Chain A
Amino acid sequence: MARRKNRGVKHRNTKPRDAKPNDAKPNAAEPAHTVGSGTTDSATATDSGVSDPYAATSRETTEGRVYTVTGGDWDDVLDDWRHDERIVVNMGPQHPSTHGVLRLVLELEGEAVTQARSVIGYLHTGIEKNCEYRTWTQGVTFVTRADYLSPLFNETAYCLATEKLLGITAPRRAQVMRVLLMELNRIGSHLVAIATGGMELGALTGMTSGFREREEVLHLLEFLTGLRMNHGFIRPGGVAQDLPEGYDTKVRDFIKVMDSRLPDYDWLLTGQPIWKKRLCNVAYLPLDGCLQLGVTGPILRSAGLEWDLRKVEPYCGYEEYDFEVPTSTDADGYARYVLRVEEIHQSLKIVAQCLDKLEPGPVMVEDGKIAWPAKLSIGADGMGNSLEHVRKIMGQSMEALIHHFKLVTEGFAVPPGQAYSAVESPRGELACHAVSDGGTRPLRVHLRDPSFVNLQSLPAMCEGGLVADVIAAVASIDPVIGGVDR
């Protein structure tokens, strides 16, 4: 009995590679035995002074060391199997089911997860540090790459913080455009959440449909802003340029397409028994857990709190729009899926309202010391400063040339101080904490990314559950590693 106890302790506390090199036991040499199979352990046998008749032996041959593993007592084997099936599984960072370069270290007891830890940092790109070496306007192109599924939200949070520091407000048309773009972006992001979630749970048609619809969103965003992702379109003081000709028809066509295709998701997933079995009562996180762990977004709303910054702390004029904040009290993965689909419907509603609210007007503040001096236009060599502007600064006005040069290379100075502004991204509270020392570059830009915070709730959601449900939990959190690691 003493031997068994010792062995149990040893297996629990030491890694197999810590075994003595001279240990003539297979578990020292073969990684396969790290799972704690029924081999005996000579170290403990020697300690207790009793020779083990079933101990494996080894001998040196010309071919290398050869082990002889003999049979054992079934009691021992079953004892090991029952009590010592602790497996530490490393999932990721290159695993298709961990949502990007997320690494999970799971401790399993059979199929049950006893401990889960997420390891992050594989996509750390130093975005916050880089922002400190660029002008405030250039910062946009960095922050947009943080959470790459919701670039327009990153830009808006950053620009709202910058505008707060400057004490300016973007003109109305720019605000409506921001809302329009953010809601389109929210649709795209939720579609990816559903698509990748479907793929991870084996619903491949969910994946193909989700990405098909998302492609519609990306086409539309490309038409409106010039780029599919990482737009760099929302700038401190407004937006980069006005909407192109024919945007109204394009957006309305998009709404029609989405209205016709969204019911497919109900057919495909919402009522589907396998989908429900995989997600109902899985990844449960009640309201108190959410608040303790700082979780926001669909996860918090699935726990029953109607918390949406668009309603409780309106920005960009969200108080004017008519939309609902769907909630649920189930607090499980299925509720989060249902909420995301419903939020897509609500976003389409907001997009339609934006079209009605768009009135002609400036899209950038009037202040020539902040607004970009040139209009952009498409030339033979791609997009650039309009010819008219180049003609003016090169041929007519030296002052305009100096002004252009200084604003573009030096940037505008931002009065010292700090500001924090938050927006409701598809994943929750996305905020930017910007600090200025009065210069033309930020002293500090911090992004409070909802993925980073929400990912902390993973152990609370899946410890004690089954290993297959870990995947469902990650899918329901919908972390974007670009935002987690920044």
Chain B
Amino acid sequence: MTRAGKNRKNNGSKNNNDKGLAPGLASSAELTSAQEAEHEDRGGVVAGRARQGMFNVRGSGDTSGYGGLVLPAYVPPPAQRPYGGGFDELTDELLDAMHERGVPAEAIQQVTVDRGEITYYVRREHLVALCRTLRDDSALRFELCSGVSGVDYGSEVVQRLHSVYHLMSMTYRRRIRLEVAVDVDDAHVPSVVEVYPTADWHERETWDMYGIVYDGHPALTRILMPDDWDGHPQRKDYPLGGIPVEYKGAEIPPPDERRAYS
């Protein structure tokens, strides 16, 4: 990252603090590779991909430093108490309710508070029980599942596929995010349709686009692509496609083959 980029990031965190968020909520600085390895040992979550070089130069003998620059993948930092923004009370209520309903506390792998939003990284075994707790407990009441979507962090990332749930409590007017990270070879996540029927089409779309299998879904079929389509188009290793275009004698490559700056 350039110096300008670093400065802007610092400014960004300052702005966040100005808006009244607790300190430490803004995005963390990059972790060193040792920290990252340690984090992975702890079963942490990677939510970003390693980026190569400002100008993405590969194997050109470029000695300017740009070509050899490798930025490690972003790892969302686990939040430290106090979270601030009402998230402490919420998490306490959640842990109490989980205890009451026999959902182990290990169901939550990590809590991250970033930019005024709270993310619970959840182990998939307990996802449905956790959703039911979130929906039914009188202190939580997350009645509305806004949506389920997938994120693919790229082929070099462990547990690259994430299934993301945005829940909203209309009673208490707050939002949370649940995130389940799975490996691409074992892309199975239990379906939450029995708890939130609205997740039906969302899970079908995420299966269609990312190939995450939602076990227990009533009819997990493709929804946007044709039924006989091969592959899952929004995976990072699925090409965007496109043809080169000639303009005034010059050839402009398709978007996914153009030079990338990040």
Contact = CB atoms under 8 A, between A and B. Distances in A.
B15 A168 contact: yes
Interface residues of A, number: 59
B8 A417 contact: no
Given A168-B12, A291-B143, A437 B226 contact: no
A433 B149 contact: yes
A121 interface: yes
A120 B48 contact: no
A411 B54 CA distance: 12
A293 B198 contact: yes
Contacts of A417: 27, 47, 74, 76, 114-115
B15 A422 contact: no
A129 B233 contact: yes
Contact of B16 (A134, A167, A312, A313): A167
Contacts of B115: 164-165, 167, 417, 419
Contact of B234 (A129, A291, A413, A433): A129
B196 interface: yes
Interface residues of B, number: 62
Nearest to B222: A121
Contacts, number: 158
A452 interface: yes
A312 to B, nearest CB: 6
Contact of B224 (A132, A134, A293, A485): A485
Interface string B181-220: 0000000000000001110111001000100000000000
B76 A294 contact: no
B126 interface: no
A419 B198 contact: no
A67 interface: no
Given A292-B198, A438-B74, A121 B224 contact: yes
Contacts of B166: 420, 431, 433, 448
B112 to A, nearest CB: 9
Interface stretch (B81-89, B170-178, B244-252): B170-178
B164 A433 contact: yes
B134 interface: no
Given A410-B261, A441-B260, A443-B153, A293 B233 contact: no
Interface of B: 1, 4-5, 8-9, 11-13, 15-16, 26-27, 47-49, 51, 71, 73-74, 76, 114-117, 119, 143-147, 149, 151-153, 164, 166, 170, 173, 175, 177, 196-198, 200-202, 205, 209, 222-226, 233-234, 240, 255-256, 258, 260-262
18 contacts: A120-B223, A120-B224, A133-B256, A133-B258, A164-B116, A166-B8, A167-B15, A294-B196, A307-B170, A409-B261, A410-B261, A413-B1, A416-B48, A439-B260, A446-B151, A448-B149, A448-B166, A452-B205
Interface of A: 120-121, 124, 126, 128-130, 132-134, 164-169, 291-296, 305, 307, 312-313, 367, 369, 409-413, 415-420, 422, 429, 431, 433, 435, 437-441, 443-444, 446, 448, 452-453, 455-456, 485-486
